[in-house]
Amino acid sequence: MSTLSIPVEQGPSVQYLLRLGDTALILGQRLGEWCGHAPVLEEDIALANIALDHIGQARALLTRAGQLGGQGHDEDQLAFLREERDYRNATIVELPNGDFAATVLRNAMMATWFRLMWERLRESSDSELAAIAGKAVKEARYHQQHSADWVVRLGDGSEESARRMRTALDTLWRYSAELFDSDAIDSSAAANGLGPRWDSLREPWLAEMREMLDEAKLPMPADSAYLSTGKSGVHTEHMGYILSELQYLQRAYPGGVW
């Protein structure tokens, strides 16, 4: 690693945007790993499309975070030159993809969350963020439809597919608590109209997930006491591996462009 890392603006508005941008970035990076490995060619392309949508959202959000941060950082510097502790993504998106069932379940959970989030962010006091949300909400609606269909197809499919979906629920559900945990950064964003408190999305998210899981004939998991900590910068052991792959080029060839 031959390039120095950049410091990160700690103000609440920038942190709020980094949480969203990093969650999109890392989910996009994870989904990109499916490229060339999905069960069928058509789904391979579908997953790559979703991954690229997330990368596009991350680009817009990190650009805006850089502008608000006032240190002249652009999207690439923020994506590629931060230390692990400065990434603010929710932990659920950095977990390994697992099998296809785990992938579609995480996509369904995250697409539902993102769709609700983008709908609220369309009303943001920051016109730039509102415009990003207006575009992204259309992408998220499709992500939700596509992944929810898979949840139902596998959950209400064969014995084996239902077993895998239940295993995926056991693994992933506990990480959803972090998506609805609010703190001072949220309060600040809510107070100045930048965006909603994350805990305000919990009820509508649970209602939509319940409907999806009912249709899939899967049990709605109980609430978990566990709270993951990715959005405060404390990540799982998986994060370093993602970053070494994500950051390799910019660290090895500083400022390299196409």
Judged by the rule CB under 8 A, the positions of this chain that interact with other proteins are: 40-43, 45-46, 49, 142, 145-146, 149, 153
> Considering beta carbons, is residue 153 or 217 the nearer one to other proteins?
153
Q: Give the span between the Cα atoms of 199 and 206, in whole angstroms.
A: 11
Number of Cβ atoms within 10 Å of the Cβ of 13 = 20
- Shortest separation between residue 49's beta carbon and other proteins, angstroms: 5
Toward other proteins, which CB reaches closer, 33 or 44? Answer: 44
Which one, 85 or 153, has the nearer CB to other proteins? 153
State which residue, 43 or 199, has the beta carbon closest to other proteins.
Answer: 43
CB of 47 to other proteins, least distance (A): 9
Cα–Cα distance, 79 to 86 (Å, whole number): 10
Query: Least CB distance from residue 31 to other proteins, whole Å?
Result: 13
Q: Which is nearer to other proteins, 46 or 189 (CB)?
A: 46
Q: CB 172 → other proteins: shortest distance, Å?
A: 23
Counting Cα atoms < 13 Å in the Cβ hemisphere of 17 gives: 31
CA separation, residue 60 to residues 18, 79, 131, 227, 235 (Å): 11, 11, 10, 28, 23
Q: Rounded to whole angstroms, what are the CA distances from 258 to 51, 74, 243, 252, 255?
A: 20, 16, 20, 15, 10
Q: How far apart are CB 153 and other proteins at their closest, in Å?
A: 7
